[in-house]
Amino acid sequence: MKQKLIFAGAIILLLIIGEVASLPRAIPAGSSVLSAFAALFNSYDVLFHSFYSITTVVSNLIISNIILSFLMPSFIGSRLQKGELRILPAGIISIGIFFAGLYILFVFPLQHLALSVMLFPVSLVLCYNNMVPDLNGLRGNTADFYSTLTSEGSSVITTLAGSLMRRKIFTNIHDVLNSLWMWLLLFEFLSDYGKGLGYLIKIGYEYWSLPVMSAALLYTIVFIWLANLFMDGLLYAVKLRRLKS
């Protein structure tokens, strides 16, 4: 919270400096950013773009977690029996997906589908990587105890992995939310689909207007922050319900 307050203070300070110093090429003036806000809300359906982006992010996260938790435990369990799981090189994979995504956006007529196709593997990799340390913790002592406890033997690790991943779906979504937002904004910015928060930022870029770009960025940051707060609230409600039961 302290960091967020410092960040908000820095932004306000910057806008005041922009107003006083009058350097429109370098720092946008506060008043022009406010007018850009009004222009964005009047001319573009900002709420629709926000809803579009958040739906894309959340649906991708939910699908990735369902696939990981319900369809992949046996694969992950068999990998765990052979050795430690490795964190996938997210950087290299993301660059690969980025170029593949550019190509898809170039040739694919259905831009929305292309966006999801691009975002889904990123979401899957981020969710998987976030789970790896916990999954590796099932090896060794835990596997030794539970494999002697049940009749399943060493394959009990598959049952444990499935249980762990299902139980941590909300935590996992919460942990990777910010990273996935960044990827979505980038993809929306690059696509010609004309929807989403990334598109609002692109408008500022296309008009070569620093105030519009700043207004869109500020709105995006606040929106993502509110979305994360909502997710935190949801997570807390789930935990509270569990404790009460």
156 lies in the binding site for other proteins (CB under 8 A):
yes
Stretches 53-61, 134-142, 195-203, 225-233: which one binds other proteins (CB under 8 A)? 134-142
206 lies in the binding site for other proteins (CB under 8 A):
no
132 lies in the binding site for other proteins (CB under 8 A):
no
86 lies in the binding site for other proteins (CB under 8 A):
no
Six-digit token string for 137: 């913790």
Q: What are phi and psi of 231, to 5 degrees?
A: -65, -40
136 lies in the binding site for other proteins (CB under 8 A):
no
Q: What is the number of alpha carbons within 13 Å of residue 81 lying toward its C-beta?
A: 14
22 lies in the binding site for other proteins (CB under 8 A):
no
Looking at beta carbons only, is 156 or 201 nearer to other proteins? 156
Nearest of 177, 181, 197 to residue 189 by alpha carbon: 197
Nearest of 139, 2, 166 to residue 69 by alpha carbon: 166
155 lies in the binding site for other proteins (CB under 8 A):
no
Six-digit token string for 80: 């765990």
Q: Cα(108)–Cα(117) distance, rounded to whole angstroms?
A: 11
What minimum distance in Å lies between the beta carbon of 183 and other proteins?
Answer: 28
Looking at beta carbons only, is 31 or 155 nearer to other proteins? 155
160 lies in the binding site for other proteins (CB under 8 A):
yes
The site string for other proteins over 27-66 (x = CB under 8 A, - otherwise) reads ----------------------------------------
168 lies in the binding site for other proteins (CB under 8 A):
yes
Nearest of 136, 144, 140, 141 to residue 161 by alpha carbon: 136
164 lies in the binding site for other proteins (CB under 8 A):
yes
103 lies in the binding site for other proteins (CB under 8 A):
no
Q: Are 56 and 242 in contact (CB under 8 A)?
A: no
Q: Cα(183)–Cα(119) distance, rounded to whole angstroms?
A: 7
Looking at beta carbons only, is 42 or 245 nearer to other proteins? 245
167 lies in the binding site for other proteins (CB under 8 A):
yes
Looking at beta carbons only, is 28 or 77 nearer to other proteins? 77
Residue 106, number of CB atoms within 10 A of its CB: 11
Q: Are 184 and 198 in contact (CB under 8 A)?
A: yes
Q: Are 199 and 51 in contact (CB under 8 A)?
A: no
What minimum distance in Å lies between the beta carbon of 166 and other proteins?
Answer: 10
Residue with tokens 């302290």: 2
Residues that bind other proteins (CB under 8 A): 140-142, 144-150, 156, 159-160, 163-164, 167-168, 245
